[in-house]
Structure 1
Amino acid sequence: MRYGDRTYFRDPENVYPLPCDLPEIHRQSLRTLMLLRVLGGPFCNPHLANRPPKRILEIACGSGLWSGLCHEYFTRRGHPDVAFAGIDVISIAPDLRKQGMNWQFKRHDLRRPRLPFPDDYFDFVFIKDAGMCPSSPAQSASGLSEPLRVLKSGGILEVWDSDWSFRSLLPNPAPARKTTSKEQEIADATATYTFSSATPFTRAQNKFVVDYNSWVEKSFDRLKLTVLPCATIGLSFNSEVDLLENVDSRRVAIPLGDLRWERDGQGKDSKNRPRKALTPEQISIRRTALLTTIQMIEGLEPLLMESSGKGRDEWDRWWAAMTADLLQKGGLASGECLEVSAWWGQKK
């Protein structure tokens, strides 16, 4: 279905709200590359690097970028023969076999009751940014049952996602408890913040982000989707205590701008030293987080326009003012962050 120059699912029973076109593929690719830098690699589970899996399934694989990057990761470590499978409702992934991968793609609607694979088949099942799919672990209490069915005993399940509404991080948050030295080194190098449920946040301060938050919450409530998939994913993992062990997680806040309290010398790093000026890489990470967020808002335009009650002219004025404020006027200096989370566990 066309809306302006964007393409969306035509299926009236599929409530997936983002476009399925080339600009959205590019947005997701940028987000994936940023997440791999912020999280330190293609997965967070600490044991996979030393015990490479033989078969990997990527659910909702999109362009297959993550699978390709994961293949490169294992190939550099002397394991080029790991077999990858990807499934998605639309077929946009290239034939990765031409890049030397052991790769299989299956077109599959996740609303179907069963994944098209036998029981106990994969050593590693990975799900990323599927939080808007109604049957994903971010939206459904039973969202982990099929991924766990096709996972072997001893295999790893890992899920990455980000929240769709935004909060502001208060100055000088302490690193999350249980953060490893490597994780903190990555956070310091990327100018991001590890956080937990105890980390002090407040409501977003930017007026345009406040507008967006209210509209996306209204829209998603109507679609029976949560705007906080990371919290739901955590509950899904913790509810599978009979099947999962060694469950753990990482949560990272990526500031969307140059924070006032960092700039004014109030910001401290994890060793309580004054934060230095952002490096070009750190600036690039934040700009990528902001750009992919603005692109996401653009992709959600049909829903947000309806929830806002704005007509086309009024919406266009809001959009122009919002992009100018966020991109040019430093409107995100109060701590607004993109919150991303990774959860993983081992099947008993």
Structure 2
Amino acid sequence: MLKNVQKWLEDNPYKKEIPIVRVDYSTHKDAVYKEEITPSKGAIVKLYHGKYYDYEENFQAHLFLHFINRHLYPIVLLKSKEDIDKFTNTTLEWEENTPFPSQPIPDYFKNYQMVTRVVAFVKDKSDLKSELQDLKEAALDSAIRNDLRVAKVTKKSLVDYYKKKMGDLWFDEYSHNSIVLFSNTENTRDTRYYNLDADNIPILEFLCKRSMAPVPKLNAFVQRIHTVLKKPLFIAFVDFNDIHSADQSRDLIKTLRILEDTLKYVVFGRIEDNESHTQRKRDIGITWDGLPTLAYSNSGLGNQCVFPQTHPLTLDNIHDFVKACLTGKFRSNFEFRDTFENTKK
């Protein structure tokens, strides 16, 4: 990777603006730990206020420049209808208009499984300084997400135009201040806008949860969102194609979608059996082949729980299972409210 970085610096105009220093981890371990840097295969870039941000991609110049822009310029200012149309078009790679522009690479971008754009329409800028600061911090916290770019529109005539044009698709009836999320993924959630005048959930949580479908299929993009969200992740292992488990798998996902609204301190994701996940099941502690099942694993705390085969995956049982896992009270002899005998009655 170092050779790729060096070659790129020799061939591009950012030699002075982007200084890169090589640190040999094997001989500077104490300094690395002191700065609380987690060694990885990527470059470590010191960008903001003494904080280090870990670039985890394989090095490609345009991805690296996007990474830099998401940190140095976390919010794009959109000044025209043309800007807004381009930015909200999730089929196009966003072209950065900063001191560090990058050339779009359509062949690479078209393979993105997830593209998310967020626009804050703000008519009353002076009254929403705190909210705009929260949005900036949320964008910075989310900067490891290469699917996400955040922008704002503060020109009053533009806000009025889109308020009139889009109405309650983008705005609350009584507000001209809204954060709207655009995505190329199928998302069945009720709304993708955030009322800056009234909503009180953290903006970061809105950006994360509204980027995903309910109980999303886990992939690299979703995993990174979960990293940003920092909430316990419970994984449903399902199979929609097997005649013996398809109906139960669909029922489990429906139940988890209901629980998402009540158990707001956790997130749920799913892995489908047509993916190769046998080893991951074994690592978590699922020793049987039957599906569906549900598990929680926190490798950092050495904590993992597997929903037992001996009880049905009902709403009440899953609710109790989640709470018991997070409080450290789950044991093999844990008493569930529902048994298979109860569900037959």
TM-score normalised to the size of structure 2? 0.24
Higher relative contact order (CA 8 A, sep 6+): 1
Structure exhibiting the larger radius of gyration computed from Cα positions? 2
Whose strand proportion is higher, 1 or 2?
A: 1
